[in-house]
Structure 1
């Protein structure tokens, strides 16, 4: 097996590498060892379910019959979302004068109530009547590949979302090094398959297996919002719950909110005079055609963004880039979706082999790469209703992961080390 070492300090000791499986979700969950810890230090937890492999944060005993039910286990987990006073946010960020953790998004790494966190500032698109109830619904979701939401604070037209800080490099930086175009942290096929599998299962959980009977939409799937951690290149998705708390998917979440006690207040109707102005945020290259037209985020638009990230992961290229054409004296738009379609249409796997990131040095199974590219192209279908469900996508990616693992073991890759620093 290939031994890898990556110079990223992960702060998630409870996350253990998962081996994907094509079996049911319950079987996958049973094979995974996860640890959940309460934010309330006054409570002690010591009960462990041997039948599921989960360490339960509960002071109450759980009957043997209920241990086999994952929804029942989830309900027993303590949920203590924090409602931070705005003064706490200001003090922790030095009145927002501290250095930003990211140049593209207003966010600050700081310490809040003894926890190492990262605070994101986002525009509030609707009013929230009961922030604690809404947070308790979102914080009820736990997944090893999703960065934990700890709490929130609201001030004026902004909401401040507080997430557990996870040390690592975002996927965009891991794929493309600004100082050395020939260097990438993800230099092996298995490292990229691990990221693809973790991302697929995380998004499948968000859409279908969160256990709170709400059609969650992530709406922030992009390579810069995915953290890659050491030592096994596990991926963790950021910004879970941001779309709901900021009001980006108010139509989908309002129905669920009404059922849960009128926790959501509808925004005022659009003015009838003149053309209604559609305002929404998105990242060029990751937005589905229908999202660009309507500004309405759906699970299908999440699937589209996932497909783009998957193509980005395979090719190492940005979703969109512009090249200056000397003949036409104009800039030519190059889309990773379009280049992938051309590669697949080449037939025989030859086109895909030349399209896949050259920094992998042809050390990857061409047939598996071809199949994974086709899965990604299914996800970016122009028509939303023809895109596959994330459960189906996760199963396909898991199957290809296992085949890739067998391939990797069969060729007996030599030992090597990997570092974030270009050599």
Structure 2
């Protein structure tokens, strides 16, 4: 934490020196502040100066420990706030505690994620282990908060408390893509019940990932692409990529860096081979994960599952990538039609489906150098989406039905 303070004080000193005056800080664009922001109230303190959280007794000691760690870095966070010319919001840890009701608010998914209200607006707070440095956080936070794309959930800001980083994202009403495809309560139903709706989701995700890789001003990665990290917004069914920047800001993944296997925190079925072997993260790792998501969209199946083999009396691992390869490489006619999700009602253009599966298999190639870039993938999926819409218009049944009532 002392190293954190020294570096951030140096950043503030650098910002002051650029003006040529001793005590004048160069003007900067004001940070992002949502309208009708709720004024901050000073937290109540005990005689020792520790922050007292209004919560259950079981959470009081944990909150006080993080509050003491937060108070030691308050001056550093203030320096960081002044050194950022863009629009990130540097929140205080006490503000995050109040917003999440001392982390007793509604959680989302399995990860430590809370749905709450921050600054009077609906938000999602994500907690991660902080393994980065202040310089990396300053640069990444500024560029990540500057991201504006309709298919990427926006990051509003963050705060650091001890060994934890708290990221505040906008809240998007909807359901994850994984739940849309595989609802355990109603396996036979899905809101993505047409071929075109699934191709539209694929196009949305591809364009969002293309924006991250090619239009962020530097080589950026997502690091954790998976169907549970994609929100299908209600009611437009627009796909939005969540948690962009979480892996980089927390220090879990850095583009082009090689991490030890102990630091990998991925999901089975989505991790590229080079990620599994040595922890190397690159845009091509995201391309691999996207290829798996695309196969999920077409088949409705999980990336990896286990089935019981009666002959061997053991469980056998079944990979979605392997079944897709068998479907396109098999000589048996109609194999692709049987592989595609049956809930689509056997109503889709088979030639477009086969081309889409082959594109997904190109994305999951074992050699990262042979995987296409997202710019190419997004363009191909847009073309396939247009062909799907043309097929849908051509096969749509006529809506106008004339009825004549009279004597025969």
Q: Smaller-chain TM-score range?
A: 0.7 to 0.9
Contiguous gaps of at least 5 residues in structure 1: 1-36, 43-77, 254-268, 271-275, 416-423
Per the alignment, residue 133 of structure 2 pairs with 127
Q: Are residue 215 (structure 1) and residue 199 (structure 2) matched?
A: no
Which residue of structure 2 lines up, in the alignment, with residue 334 of structure 1? 318
Alpha-carbon distance in structure 2 between the residues aligned to 1:91 and 1:232: 32
What is the root-mean-square deviation of aligned Cα atoms in Å?
2.3
1:186 to partner: Cα distance:
0.8
- Please tell me whether the aligned partners of residues 349 and 370 of structure 1 are also in contact (alpha carbons under 8 angstroms): no
Match of 2:117 in 1: 111
Check the 8 A contact 1:82/1:151 in 2, yes or no.
Answer: yes
User: Would the alpha carbon gap of residues 401 and 162 (structure 1) be closer, same or farther in structure 2, given more than 3 Å must change?
Assistant: same
Of 35, 38, 41, which residue of structure 2 is paired with 1:41? 35
- 2:306 pairs with 300, 312, 322, which one? 322
Gapped regions of structure 2 (runs ≥ 5): 1-30, 37-84, 400-408
Q: 2:284 aligns with which of 282, 292, 300?
A: 300
In the alignment, is the contact (CA less than 8 A) between 2:291 and 2:363 conserved in 1?
yes
Residues 141-152 of structure 1: pairs in structure 2 closer than 5 A:
141-152=147-158
How far, CA to CA, are the matches of 1:181 and 1:395 in structure 2? Answer: 32
More deviation, 304-313/240-249: 240-249
Q: In structure 2, how many angstroms separate the alpha carbons of the residues matched to 1:100 and 1:40?
A: 23
SS of alignment partner, residue 249 of structure 1: coil
My pick for the range that moved more, 381-390 or 346-355, is 346-355
Work out whether residues 315 and 357 of structure 1, in 8 Å CA contact, stay in contact via their aligned partners in 2.
yes
The Cα of 1:329 is off from its aligned counterpart by 1.0
TM-score calculated relative to the size of structure 1: 0.72
Checking the alignment, whether the CA contact within 8 Å between 1:145 and 1:236 is kept in structure 2 is yes
Q: Distance in 2 between matches of 1:171 and 1:357?
A: 15
Maintained 8 Å contact 1:319/1:335: yes
Match of 2:242 in 1: 238
Superposed displacement of residue 278, structure 1: 3.5
1:13-412 correspondence to structure 2 within 5 Å: 39-41=33-35, 79-102=86-109, 104-129=110-135, 131-210=137-216, 212=217, 214-250=218-254, 252=256, 278-347=262-331, 350-412=334-396
**How far is the alpha carbon of 1:351 from its aligned partner?**
1.2
Partners of 2:163 and 2:368 in 1: how far apart? 32
Q: Is residue 81–residue 132 contact of structure 1 (8 Å, CA) maintained in 2? A: no
Residue 348 of structure 1: how far off its partner (Å): 7.2
Q: Distance in 1 between matches of 2:364 and 2:336?
A: 17
CA contact (8 A) 1:304 1:381 kept: yes
Higher helix share: 2
Query: 1:238, 1:413 → 2: CA distance?
Result: 37
SS at match of 2:168: strand
Secondary structure of 2:263's counterpart equals coil
CA contact (8 A) 1:171 1:223 kept: yes
SS at the partner of 1:290? helix
- Number of paired residues? 322
Q: CA separation of 1:101/1:308 partners in 2, compared to 1, >3 Å: closer, same or farther?
A: same
Alpha carbons 2:226, 2:289 under 8 Å: kept: yes
Q: Deviations over 1:137-157 (max 9, x none)?
A: 211221110000000011111
Q: Aligned partners of 1:246 and 1:349: how far apart in 2?
A: 49
Determine helix, strand or coil for the equivalent of 2:389. Answer: helix
**How far 1:327 sits from its partner (Å)?**
1.6
CA contact (8 A) 1:349 1:367 kept: no
TM-score by length of 2: 0.75
Instruction: Please tell me whether the aligned partners of residues 147 and 239 of structure 1 are also in contact (alpha carbons under 8 angstroms).
Output: yes
8 Å CA contact 1:107–1:120 kept in 2: the answer is: yes
Q: Which residue of 1 aligns with 2:13?
A: none
- Mark the CA change 1:414 to 1:186 in structure 2 (over 3 Å): closer, same or farther: farther
Relative distance call for 1:299 and 1:277 in structure 2 (3 A) is closer
**What is the CA distance between 1:99 and its match in structure 2?**
2.9
